[in-house]
Structure 1
Amino acid sequence: MKSTIVAFALVASAVAGVAHAAVPANPVNVQSQQTVASQSNAGKTRAEVKRELVQAQRDGQIAALRSLYQGS
Protein backbone atom coordinates (compact mmCIF):
# COMPACT_ATOMS: atom_id res chain seq x y z
CA MET A 1 0.00 0.00 0.00
CA LYS A 2 2.80 2.41 0.92
CA SER A 3 4.64 1.66 -2.30
CA THR A 4 1.52 2.56 -4.30
CA ILE A 5 1.22 5.88 -2.50
CA VAL A 6 4.90 6.65 -3.02
CA ALA A 7 4.67 5.72 -6.71
CA PHE A 8 1.59 7.93 -7.13
CA ALA A 9 3.36 10.84 -5.44
CA LEU A 10 6.36 10.46 -7.75
CA VAL A 11 4.18 10.34 -10.86
CA ALA A 12 2.15 13.36 -9.69
CA SER A 13 5.29 15.40 -9.07
CA ALA A 14 6.72 14.42 -12.46
CA VAL A 15 3.51 15.46 -14.22
CA ALA A 16 3.47 18.76 -12.34
CA GLY A 17 7.07 19.41 -13.37
CA VAL A 18 6.30 18.74 -17.02
CA ALA A 19 3.24 20.98 -16.88
CA HIS A 20 5.28 23.76 -15.31
CA ALA A 21 7.96 23.40 -17.97
CA ALA A 22 5.34 23.81 -20.69
CA VAL A 23 4.50 27.37 -19.58
CA PRO A 24 6.19 29.92 -21.89
CA ALA A 25 8.96 32.01 -20.38
CA ASN A 26 7.45 35.24 -21.75
CA PRO A 27 3.73 35.16 -20.99
CA VAL A 28 1.48 36.98 -23.42
CA ASN A 29 -0.16 40.12 -22.09
CA VAL A 30 -3.78 39.13 -22.66
CA GLN A 31 -5.19 42.34 -21.23
CA SER A 32 -3.36 44.54 -23.72
CA GLN A 33 -4.49 42.30 -26.61
CA GLN A 34 -8.10 42.57 -25.45
CA THR A 35 -7.76 46.35 -25.19
CA VAL A 36 -6.41 46.59 -28.73
CA ALA A 37 -9.21 44.36 -30.03
CA SER A 38 -11.91 46.35 -28.29
CA GLN A 39 -10.44 49.65 -29.50
CA SER A 40 -10.35 48.45 -33.10
CA ASN A 41 -14.04 47.48 -32.93
CA ALA A 42 -15.15 50.55 -31.03
CA GLY A 43 -16.78 53.39 -32.92
CA LYS A 44 -18.33 51.55 -35.86
CA THR A 45 -21.68 52.81 -36.95
CA ARG A 46 -24.54 50.62 -38.12
CA ALA A 47 -23.96 51.80 -41.64
CA GLU A 48 -20.31 50.71 -41.52
CA VAL A 49 -21.25 47.29 -40.19
CA LYS A 50 -23.94 46.84 -42.85
CA ARG A 51 -21.45 47.91 -45.53
CA GLU A 52 -18.94 45.33 -44.29
CA LEU A 53 -21.63 42.63 -44.27
CA VAL A 54 -22.69 43.41 -47.84
CA GLN A 55 -19.04 43.39 -48.94
CA ALA A 56 -18.46 40.01 -47.23
CA GLN A 57 -21.53 38.60 -48.98
CA ARG A 58 -20.30 39.88 -52.37
CA ASP A 59 -16.80 38.49 -51.79
CA GLY A 60 -18.21 35.06 -50.91
CA GLN A 61 -16.87 35.10 -47.37
CA ILE A 62 -20.30 34.39 -45.86
CA ALA A 63 -20.88 31.42 -48.19
CA ALA A 64 -17.43 30.06 -47.37
CA LEU A 65 -18.12 30.29 -43.64
CA ARG A 66 -21.50 28.59 -44.06
CA SER A 67 -19.93 25.68 -45.94
CA LEU A 68 -17.11 25.46 -43.41
CA TYR A 69 -19.39 25.41 -40.37
CA GLN A 70 -22.37 23.52 -41.79
CA GLY A 71 -21.74 20.61 -39.45
CA SER A 72 -21.58 16.93 -40.10
Structure 2
Amino acid sequence: MKVKKIALVFAACAAVAATTSAFASSPVDTSVNDQAVGQASQWATVAKSPKGKTRAQVRAELVQAEKDGQLAALDKLYRGS
Protein backbone atom coordinates (compact mmCIF):
# COMPACT_ATOMS: atom_id res chain seq x y z
CA MET A 1 0.00 0.00 0.00
CA LYS A 2 2.78 2.40 0.91
CA VAL A 3 4.59 1.68 -2.36
CA LYS A 4 1.44 2.59 -4.31
CA LYS A 5 1.22 5.95 -2.52
CA ILE A 6 4.88 6.71 -3.21
CA ALA A 7 4.46 5.76 -6.87
CA LEU A 8 1.34 7.91 -7.14
CA VAL A 9 3.06 10.92 -5.57
CA PHE A 10 6.07 10.44 -7.83
CA ALA A 11 3.82 10.25 -10.91
CA ALA A 12 1.96 13.40 -9.87
CA CYS A 13 5.23 15.28 -9.35
CA ALA A 14 6.50 14.12 -12.74
CA ALA A 15 3.28 15.24 -14.41
CA VAL A 16 3.50 18.69 -12.80
CA ALA A 17 7.15 19.02 -13.81
CA ALA A 18 6.38 18.02 -17.39
CA THR A 19 3.47 20.46 -17.60
CA THR A 20 5.39 23.44 -16.26
CA SER A 21 8.35 22.82 -18.55
CA ALA A 22 5.99 22.62 -21.54
CA PHE A 23 4.59 26.05 -20.72
CA ALA A 24 8.05 27.48 -20.22
CA SER A 25 9.19 26.40 -23.68
CA SER A 26 6.28 28.00 -25.55
CA PRO A 27 7.21 31.13 -27.54
CA VAL A 28 6.20 34.53 -26.23
CA ASP A 29 4.13 36.87 -28.38
CA THR A 30 6.21 40.06 -28.34
CA SER A 31 3.60 42.20 -30.09
CA VAL A 32 1.37 41.98 -27.01
CA ASN A 33 4.25 42.96 -24.74
CA ASP A 34 5.20 45.96 -26.91
CA GLN A 35 1.63 47.21 -26.80
CA ALA A 36 1.49 46.85 -23.02
CA VAL A 37 4.71 48.85 -22.65
CA GLY A 38 3.25 51.63 -24.77
CA GLN A 39 0.12 51.75 -22.67
CA ALA A 40 2.06 51.71 -19.43
CA SER A 41 4.03 54.78 -20.48
CA GLN A 42 0.77 56.72 -20.85
CA TRP A 43 -0.03 56.39 -17.16
CA ALA A 44 0.93 59.31 -14.96
CA THR A 45 3.55 58.70 -12.33
CA VAL A 46 2.78 59.25 -8.68
CA ALA A 47 4.68 62.54 -8.65
CA LYS A 48 2.68 63.90 -11.61
CA SER A 49 -0.70 62.62 -10.51
CA PRO A 50 -3.27 65.16 -9.35
CA LYS A 51 -3.95 65.47 -5.66
CA GLY A 52 -7.05 63.95 -4.14
CA LYS A 53 -10.24 65.90 -3.62
CA THR A 54 -11.10 67.56 -0.36
CA ARG A 55 -14.17 66.60 1.63
CA ALA A 56 -15.82 69.84 0.61
CA GLN A 57 -15.29 69.07 -3.09
CA VAL A 58 -16.70 65.56 -2.73
CA ARG A 59 -19.66 66.86 -0.75
CA ALA A 60 -20.34 69.52 -3.41
CA GLU A 61 -20.29 66.83 -6.12
CA LEU A 62 -22.70 64.71 -4.09
CA VAL A 63 -25.12 67.60 -3.65
CA GLN A 64 -24.90 68.39 -7.38
CA ALA A 65 -25.56 64.74 -8.29
CA GLU A 66 -28.61 64.72 -6.02
CA LYS A 67 -29.95 67.91 -7.61
CA ASP A 68 -29.52 66.88 -11.24
CA GLY A 69 -30.92 63.36 -10.75
CA GLN A 70 -27.72 61.37 -11.27
CA LEU A 71 -28.07 59.55 -7.96
CA ALA A 72 -31.68 58.62 -8.65
CA ALA A 73 -30.75 57.31 -12.11
CA LEU A 74 -27.88 55.23 -10.72
CA ASP A 75 -30.07 53.93 -7.91
CA LYS A 76 -32.70 52.87 -10.42
CA LEU A 77 -30.09 51.28 -12.68
CA TYR A 78 -28.46 49.18 -9.99
CA ARG A 79 -31.69 48.17 -8.26
CA GLY A 80 -33.12 47.04 -11.57
CA SER A 81 -36.48 48.71 -11.11
Scaled by the length of structure 1, the TM-score of the pair is 0.47
- Say which structure, 1 or 2, has more relative contact order (CA 8 Å, 6+ apart): 1
Task: From the CA coordinates, give the structure whose radius of gyration is larger.
Answer: 2
